[in-house]
Structure formats: C-alpha cells, structure tokens
Amino acid sequence: MLEFISRMLGRESTSSKTVAKERLRLVLVHDRASISPAMLNRLREDLIKVISNYMEIDEAALEFNLLQDDKEVALVANIPVVKMKRDYASKTE
C-alpha cells in the first residue's frame, strides 16, 4: 500500500521496469480476487455511468485499480471531476 501512495505522490519513477511490474501486480491481484478482466471493465463502466449522473468527469484521466495486501483487496478509483452537475435532481424525476 505504501508503494501505491508513493506512486500517487509522484515519488516513484515511471520507468518501463516500473510499468511492467505494476501491470504484473494488477494481473496477480485480479487472479487472487477472482475477478475477470471483463467483470472489472463492467464495474468500471457502471461506476462511470452512475457518477456521470452527478458530475462531469475526465474519463481519459480516470484510474481504476484493485489493490491487495496480505488479507484484503481494495478497489481504488481516481476520478477527475471536471464540474458538478447542479440539475441532477430534475433528471431522475
């Protein structure tokens, strides 16, 4: 978890070695969490759809990952908000 925080704060370089290591780690987490890539993609799409009802988001900059330590798996989403939608109540009625 400390590695993730360091990466988010920009303290870790983004060398090809680091990128490859992160990709491998994500594959292993998906396997251990028993979540298929298709299921994870559907979850991502559903979250985007729901959040988009309330705010405009930058989908291109969205980060969506599963993180795992020894005992638990966490879903971590970094969703850049462009602006809030003030008329969301009228769309749901």
**Mean pLDDT per segment of 10 residues, for the chain of length 93 residues?**
58 68 69 74 90 91 80 85 78 54
At 8 the pLDDT is 57
Residue ranges per structural domain of the chain: 2-92
Residues pairing with 74 in the sheet: 67
Question: Which pLDDT does position 88 carry in this prediction?
Answer: 58
Q: Is 10 left (phi over 0), alpha (psi -120 to 50) or beta?
A: left
Identify the CA nearest to 44 among candidates 71, 20, 26: 26
